[in-house]
Amino acid sequence: MKKPARLDIDAILDDRGTRIIVCCGAGGVGKTTTAAALGLRAAERGRCAVVLTVDPARRLAQSMGLSELDNTPRLVSSPEGDGQLYAMMLDMKRTFDEIIEAHADPERARQILSNPFYQSLSSSFSGTQEYMAMEKLGQLRRSDEWDLIIVDTPPSRSALDFLDAPERLGRFLDGRFIRMLTAPAKAGGRSAFRLLNAGFGLMAGAMTKLLGAQVIKDLQTFVSALDAVFGGFRQRAEMTYRLLQAPGTAFVVVAAPERDAMREASYFVERLAEERMPLAGLVVNRVHESPAPALSAARSAAAAEDLESRGEHELTAAVLRLHAGRMQLAARESREQEHFVSAHPTVPVVQVRAMSEDVHDLTGLRQIGDLLASA
């Protein structure tokens, strides 16, 4: 089978036209580490880079020598080279609050932020984390303080949630439920209450009895603010979506050499093509290799069996068994990658071998960056 083209990471990082790199893929494949390693390597090659992660784990902060990360970019003090590296962790609710504060007068903002329905929406609405990641990306790009933004997409059931978030929020805002609430809220006062009950009939009456007048009032207050504040959400989401389609953006799909992760990577590559978004290539993480690839699994197992049958060299036999298992694992991983390459022969690929321990500092991130850039 024809070998795929190599993904040239350094060419992407050195290209000043590249302003956004989006690391995407299934959960647990190393997106956060890859994003951090790319950010560090970019900074050490002269870029002013910021890494935006949405992973709730604290690995990124620890590996960069920071005590914590929050919604404000923090300077990583020790990268080598002429560039600068910043890192931040998305605070979903804080980002939502910042949008409210920026697009509503102080009194209206106070009413919204203290509203129970808003607090629930901003904390737990399906897709809010992915949408807020899009919002934060747009904010970072508009500020123009960094010449490279690297995004670690949210850990989620599907890697496509990041792309689908704006449309999902748009469907929510355009949905029948919200339209029914928004129309009566615009009328105000008792008229709003009558129309609310007319729109929902017996269900609204039952809700009023069950939840009480205060809950209905909170709902009306929240709905009355929808048009004033949410109107710009869809527009900004569309702007960010177009930004993701622009030539200055590069999508890096990250996968592990396992069936589910490679299948997800394949699906994501196809989706990016459908959405006309610029794919840089595939990073295959945690690839297992053997220091003695010429010794096959079958020969190694046979030699171990021969030694064991004669009761000789037990340690050597154990090492041979270990080698056989390693070669079998490498063969399985190779087959999974071959399936991807067969389906997507034009997608550049780079492999990152499995590390003996987890990355926990800048030295480890630098090593990952070296592996990403190596042939």
DSSP 321-375: HHHHHHHHHHHHHHHHHHHHHHH-TTS-EEEEEPPSS---SHHHHHHHHHHHH--
At 197 the pLDDT is 47
Angle between the N-to-C axes of helices 128-143 and 226-245, in degrees from 0 to 180, rounded to the nearest 10 = 70
Output the domain CATH number for residue 17: 3.40.50.300
The boundaries of the domain holding residue 144 are 9-374
Q: Is residue 56 one of the residues assigned to a domain?
A: yes
Q: Is residue 67 one of the residues assigned to a domain?
A: yes
Burial class (CB in 10 A: 0-12, 13-18, 19+), 276: exposed
Q: Is residue 223 one of the residues assigned to a domain?
A: yes
Backbone angles phi, psi at 75, to 5 degrees: -75, 130
Please, what are the averages of pLDDT over each run of 10 residues along the chain (375 residues)? 85 97 89 93 96 76 81 83 90 84 83 81 70 86 95 69 70 58 50 46 48 62 62 74 92 94 92 93 90 72 73 76 78 90 95 85 92 84
> Domain total for the chain?
1
At 196 the pLDDT is 46
Backbone angles phi, psi at 277, to 5 degrees: -105, 140
Q: Is residue 4 one of the residues assigned to a domain?
A: no
Angle (nearest 5°) at CA 10 between 9 and 16: 110
Q: Which of 58, 10, 57, 60 is CA-nearest to residue 34?
A: 60
Burial class (CB in 10 A: 0-12, 13-18, 19+), 40: buried
Q: Residue 277: which H helix or E strand, with range? A: none
Question: Which residues are paired to 53 by β-bridges?
Answer: 89, 152
Question: Which residues are paired to 262 by β-bridges?
Answer: none
Q: Is residue 2 one of the residues assigned to a domain?
A: no
Q: Is residue 3 one of the residues assigned to a domain?
A: no
56 to 59, 120, 157, 361, 369: CA distances (angstroms)? 9, 19, 15, 18, 23
DSSP string over 308-324:
HHTT--HHHHHHHHHHH
Rounded Cα distance, 299 and 324, in Å: 8
Cβ pair 180, 204 in contact under 8 A: no
At 93 the pLDDT is 85
DSSP H helical segments within 189-258, as ranges? 189-211, 213-224, 226-245
pTM of this structure: 0.82
Residue 185 Cα to chain centre, angstroms: 36
Q: Is residue 263 one of the residues assigned to a domain?
A: yes
